[in-house]
C-alpha cells in the first residue's frame, strides 16, 4: 500500500523478495491494514507523538542554552586571536559568504549589515565594526551615511559635496 504498486507488480515484488502469496491473500492483508489504520493512528498519537514533542522541546532547550553561550562569547582583542576564532566559527565555509550581525542596546531586534568582508572581521574590533556599520558599512559598501543633522557623509566623516557648488550634493 505504501509503495502504491499495481496488483501484479505487488505480487511480483513480494515473490522476488521471498514471499509467495496468492492474489486473495494480498487483498486480505491489504484489507487488514486498512481496518487497523485507526488503531495505528491512536498508537502513534498516544506514544510517538508525545515522545516527538518532548524530543523537540529538549532540542529547543539545548539550542537556547548554546545560543546564550555564543551570545556572551567574548571577542578576542588581538587580531591573531580574532582570526583564529573566526576561522573556527566558519569552519569549511567560504569566508566571503559571511554576513555580519550585531545587537545594539538601542535596537533590541538587532540590525544586520552584510557589507563586511572576512578581512574586516579580522582587522577591526566589534566596536570598530559597529561604528563602521553606522557610518556607511564595511569594505563592501559605498560608505555614505546621514549624520544627526541629516547631512550626507563619507566613511571618514567628510561631508559629501556637490562638485559644482561645493555644497552637500545629495541633501
Bigger pLDDT: 81 or 145? 81
pLDDT-derived band at 170 (thresholds 50, 70, 90) equals very low
Instruction: Return the pLDDT at 24.
Output: 92
Task: Specify whether the CB–CB gap between 136 and 143 falls below 8 A.
Answer: yes
Indicate whether 100 and 60 sit together in one domain.
no
Stretch 3-15: mean pLDDT, rounded? 85
Domain of 134? 77-153
Q: How far apart are CA 88 and CA 73, in angstroms?
A: 13
Q: What are phi and psi of 159, to 5 degrees?
A: -65, 140
What tens digit of pLDDT does each residue of 118-150 get?
Answer: 888 888 887 887 777 777 777 777 777 777 888
Q: How far apart are CA 128 and CA 81, in angstroms?
A: 16
Instruction: Return the pLDDT at 171.
Output: 42
Stretch 66-80: mean pLDDT, rounded? 78
Stretch 84-95: mean pLDDT, rounded? 81
The total domain count for the chain is: 2
What percent of the residues of the chain are helix, what percent strand, and what percent coil, each to the nearest 5?
50, 10, 35
Question: Highest mean pLDDT: which of 23-27, 64-68, 132-136, 139-143?
Answer: 23-27
In a domain, 160, yes or no: no
Residue 97 pLDDT greater than 60, yes or no: yes
Beta bridge partners of 111: 102
Indicate whether 34 and 102 sit together in one domain.
no
In a domain, 161, yes or no: no
pLDDT-derived band at 75 (thresholds 50, 70, 90) equals confident
Predicted TM-score (pTM) of the model is 0.42
Indicate whether 136 and 105 sit together in one domain.
yes
Indicate whether 90 and 144 sit together in one domain.
yes
Indicate whether 83 and 145 sit together in one domain.
yes
Amino acid at each position: 500500500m505504501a509503495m502504491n504498486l499495481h496488483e501484479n507488480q505487488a505480487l511480483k515484488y513480494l515473490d522476488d523478495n521471498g514471499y509467495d502469496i496468492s492474489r486473495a491473500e494480498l487483498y486480505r492483508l491489504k484489507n487488514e491494514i486498512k481496518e487497523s489504520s485507526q488503531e495505528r493512528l491512536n498508537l502513534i498519537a498516544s506514544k510517538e507523538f508525545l515522545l516527538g514533542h518532548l524530543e523537540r522541546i529538549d532540542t529547543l532547550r539545548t539550542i537556547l542554552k548554546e545560543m546564550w553561550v555564543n551570545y556572551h562569547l567574548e571577542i578576542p582583542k588581538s587580531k591573531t586571536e580574532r582570526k583564529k576564532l573566526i576561522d573556527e566559527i566558519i569552519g569549511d565555509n567560504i569566508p566571503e559568504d559571511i554576513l555580519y550581525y550585531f545587537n545594539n542596546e538601542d535596537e533590541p531586534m538587532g540590525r544586520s549589515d552584510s557589507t563586511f568582508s572576512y578581512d574586516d572581521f579580522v582587522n577591526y574590533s566589534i566596536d570598530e565594526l559597529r561604528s563602521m556599520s553606522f557610518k556607511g558599512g564595511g569594505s563592501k559598501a559605498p560608505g555614505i551615511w546621514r549624520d544627526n543633522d541629516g547631512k550626507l557623509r563619507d566613511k571618514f566623516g567628510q561631508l559629501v559635496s556637490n562638485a559644482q557648488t561645493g555644497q552637500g550634493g545629495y541633501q
